[in-house]
Homo-oligomer: A and B are copies of this chain.
C-alpha cells in the first residue's frame, strides 16, 4: 500500500514461523481483558479496536485506536503494572503470536525485533499526542485533532475511499472517552463543527470537508508519515 516498508521473502518467512494463529472476534468483544494480560501478542489484520483503562468508579479513558497493521500486547511482556484493556470496535481479525517467543525472536531475527520496537515507538508518539490533546486543548480543538488524526491514519492504510470519506465506527461515547470530555459536550461540539462545515458524519462515514480549517483549529502540523514495517 505504500504505507509499509517492503519486506523480503525471507523476513516474511520468519514472521510466518513466529505467527501462531489468526483469530476473528466480533465487535465489542475483549481482545485483552483489562487487568489481565494474556500470553499473546497481536497484530490487527482487519477492523478497528481500541486500548483503554477504566477507573474503579467506571470512568473510562480510551488510550488509542488501533487500525490494521497496528501491534498490541507488548507492554504486558515487560511491565507488571496493571495493564490496559483492548476491545474490538468492529469485527476484527488478528494475527496471534505467543508472547514467550518474543525474546527468541529478538535473538534470532533482530531485524524483526527492531521493527517491533519501531511500531511501539510510533504508538507512544500517538499517546503523547493524545495526552497533549486531553491536557491542553479545549473541546473544539480536541474534536478537530481527533478527526484529522484518524483520517490521516486511515489514509495510510487505504481506508479512505475515492470520494474522500472513510468508514467511521466510533460512536460519540468513544469520542468522548478518548478526548476526556463528557458525552453531552462531545455531542454539542461535534454538531457545532459540523454546522460550520468542517466535517460531516453521515451513514457511518466521516467526510473532512474542510481539512485545512480543522488543522488550523487543532493546531495540527501536517507531517508526512513514514513508511512503517509490517509484522
Contacts and interface: CB of A to CB of B under 8 A. Distances in A.
A79 B179 CA distance: 23
Contacts of A125: 75, 79, 81
A131 to B, nearest CB: 5
A140 interface: no
A46 interface: no
- The quantity of this chain's copies bound in the complex is 2
Interface in A199-231: 219, 221, 223-226
Given A127-B124, A128-B63, A80 B137 contact: no
Interface in A120-170: 120-125, 127-132, 134-137
Contacts of A82: 221, 223
Contacts of A80: 223-226
A79 B111 CA distance: 17
Interface string A73-96: 011011111101000000000000
Contact of A180 (B51, B135, B223): B135
A78 B71 CA distance: 15
Contact of A118 (B78, B114, B123): B78
Nearest to A218: B55
Contact of A116 (B59, B117, B124, B178): B117
14 contacts: A51-B128, A59-B136, A60-B136, A61-B135, A75-B125, A78-B121, A79-B125, A81-B225, A82-B221, A84-B128, A106-B110, A117-B117, A131-B134, A135-B179
